[in-house]
Amino acid sequence: MKLVLVSAVALIDADGRVLLAQRPEGKSMAGLWEFPGGKVEQGETPEAALIRELHEELGIGTWASCLAPLTFASHAYPDFHLLMPLFACRKWEGTPQSREGQALKWVRPNDLRDYPMPAADIPLIPILRDWL
C-alpha cells in the first residue's frame, strides 16, 4: 500500500482559536474541514512543506522555528496509508486568506467536533483540545 506523507498545522490565534479550511469542490473529500497543510514533496521536510503550503494556500509566512510538533495521524484509507504530522503554530506574518477557493473558519477547540472532517483528522481533535 502506498504511504502518503502530508504535513498539517493547527494555526492558533491570540484568542486560542484554531483555523480550519474546507476542502473545495472537485477535490477528494470535498466539503470536509481540515487543518491547513499538504503533501510533502520529494526532498522536502514536513516543516518546509508546511511553510510552502501556508504561503500557497493562505498567503502567510512562518518559520520552522515557529512550528512545534504536536501529534500525528496514521490512517489507512482504501487506496493509501496517510502519515500526517500535526504542528502547532502561533506566530506568522500576514492574515490567512483563501487563495484556492476554500472556506476558512476560526474555531474554538471545544467546537472542532461540530465540523465534519476526514477520518484521519478526527483523532487529533481531543489531543489538540487538551493541549490548548
Q: Which residues are annotated as a binding site for 8-oxo-dGTP?
A: 23, 34-37
DSSP code, position 93? B
CA–CA gap between residue 132 and residue 109 (Å, rounded): 7
- Report the binding-site residues for Mg(2+): 37, 57
Instruction: Kindly list the distances between the CA atom of residue 5 and the CA atoms of 18, 28, 37, 67, 87, in Å, as whole numbers in the listed order.
Output: 22, 16, 11, 17, 14
- Report the binding-site residues: 23, 34-37, 57
CA–CA gap between residue 129 and residue 25 (Å, rounded): 28
- Could you tell me the three cell numbers for 58? 493562505
Give the SS3 label for residue 127: helix
